[in-house]
Amino acid sequence: METSEPRTILSAEKLKSLLIAICGPLGFSLSFLPIDADNGSPAVIVLPDFGLAVAISGPATRRAEIEAVVLRVAGEIAEQEREASSLAEEIMLRYEQLSMLFGMSERLGGAKDNPSRMRAILDTAAEAVGAEQGCLVVNGRDVCVSGGGSDAAGLRDLARRAIEQMKPLVDERRHLALPLSADGVTIMGGLALGPKRRGSYRSGDLKLLGTLAAYSSLLLESGRLYEDLEQLFFSTVQSMVEAVDAKDPRTAGHSQRVRRISARIAEQIGLLPPQVKRLELAALLHDVGKIGLPDLILNNVNPRLTPEQWELVKLHPQIGVSILSHVNQLSDILPAIGQHHERFDGTGYPNGIRGGDIFHFARIIAVADSFDAMTMERTYRPTFTREQAVAEIRDNAGTQFDPDVARAFVNTEQGPDA
């Protein structure tokens, strides 16, 4: 029997919890076996995506129904895992691009003239794709670097051909060139790279260099490096937030509202502008871990989750930290994402941290998150008015919320419009 490797321990545990929560009340008990322990019994369902075999015990009259439920739930979770994995890969690709651009910004910080800036761009491009040699042509001037292999004259000609033809060129999968344009219309230069040190150019390399080429054009035209990179960074973050919203359309816009409320609180407290920007980024990403939760939970219309479902929901701060932990530019705000459901009195989750031990940004986001959740329309509970939600924040200062943060929130004239 051909099987696939288990996806992750977390995936298997989520599946087990959900199946037990669903099948137990119907009078069925489940046993989970390693996939190689399957003995061919008709009472055993093999779930290769999770590396599990499920043995079912219960009323024979409903066995077919429960088997269908098991397969359907397993299929939904497997699909969610595949989507989450694909999204994580896309996120990592985006952040690789951002890391490359930030690396280039550091190099440009020490550049005193355009030739130095061109060399910084060229060095970044060659390193990003592992090219042996490269040439950058801008407004008739060129900078070439040599690592052996190709000749500079040939790369210079290839860069000029990309400028003339206004499109990327791949020469026998060993050389690559693309035009530099800030607006997609005006071509200001061309970048050509020689053979890779290992392998050949792929579509991902072209996408990576396309991003670099676009921003190189902007950098060479103006000095607004920081603003341009920051905008790209937040655009990438926004795409992640929209992915979370897509999983639960009823909460669409929640992260943006939490960002705005958090910023107002921070300004009231007196945080400096750079700190406010980092807080806004953390607030935007605070629920990114919900990407890892199945729709069965996020779209639950019941007034209460089962204990098993609630335990899964409580994992989302840790899942968010796990997703973003490899992004160096976010390392300083990871505690805010992982701790935004901690309570000031120590009864929150996931770790029961209390008081000043909770990261300051997390204490701010906790207030903003709770306020927006209370004023958000839900089919299974009454919606708080703005005044009621503000009173709830004030009344829970010192228990659920940091009293200083709660006081600052109340002083923001009950928050921004939702």
What residue spans define the domains of the chain? 9-87, 110-223, 227-410
pLDDT of residue 258: 94
pLDDT score for 417 = 44
CA distances from 27 to 23, 73, 74 (A): 7, 18, 19
Cα(367)–Cα(381) distance, rounded to whole angstroms?
A: 20
What string of pLDDT tens digits covers the 418 residues of the chain?
333 444 444 467 777 888 888 888 888 888 888 877 555 566 688 887 777 888 888 888 888 888 888 888 888 878 777 777 777 766 776 676 667 667 766 776 666 666 777 888 888 888 888 888 889 888 777 787 755 555 778 888 888 998 899 888 887 567 889 998 877 777 888 999 988 888 778 777 888 888 888 877 777 775 444 445 566 666 777 777 777 777 766 677 888 899 999 999 999 999 998 899 899 999 999 998 888 777 767 666 566 777 888 888 888 899 999 988 888 888 999 999 999 999 999 999 999 999 999 999 999 999 999 999 898 876 556 778 889 999 999 999 999 999 999 999 999 865 444 3
Given the candidates 3.30.450.40, 3.40.220.10, 3.10.20.30, 3.40.50.880, the CATH classification of the domain at 110-223 is 3.30.450.40
Q: Which residues, 6 or more positions from 253, have their beta carbon under 8 angstroms from its beta carbon? A: 245
User: What angle, 0 to 180 degrees and rounded to 10, lies between the N-to-C axes of helices 225-247 and 273-285?
Assistant: 30
Distance (Å, whole) CA 64 – CA 187: 65
Separation CA 153–CA 140 (nearest Å):
14
DSSP assigned state of 73: H
Instruction: Give start and end residues of each alpha helix (H) in 170-315.
Output: 203-221, 225-247, 254-269, 273-285, 295-298, 307-313
**pLDDT of res. 19:** 84
DSSP-derived pairing of the beta strands 134-138 and 141-145: antiparallel
* Cβ atoms of residues 342 and 318 within 8 Å: no
Q: Which residues of 38-54 are buried (b: 16+ CB within 10 A; e: fewer)?
A: beeeeeebebbbbbbbb
Residues in the chain: 418
Are 289 and 318 in contact by the 8 Å Cβ rule? The answer is yes
> Measured between alpha carbons, how far is residue 377 from residues 139, 298, 381, 416, 418 in Å?
57, 15, 8, 17, 11
127 alpha-carbon distance from chain centroid: 25
Positive or negative, the CA dihedral 37, 43, 45, 46 is: positive
CATH number of 227-410: 1.10.3210.10
Q: What is the pLDDT of residue 108?
A: 66
The burial class, CB within 10 Å (0-12 / 13-18 / 19+), for 222 is exposed
Q: H or E element: which one contains 84?
A: helix 63-109
- Report yes or no: 205 and 129 within 8 Å, Cβ to Cβ: yes
Alpha carbons 343 and 339: distance in angstroms, whole number: 9
Q: Rounded CA gap, 216 and 281, in Å? A: 25
Helices (H), 110-224: 114-129, 152-165, 203-221
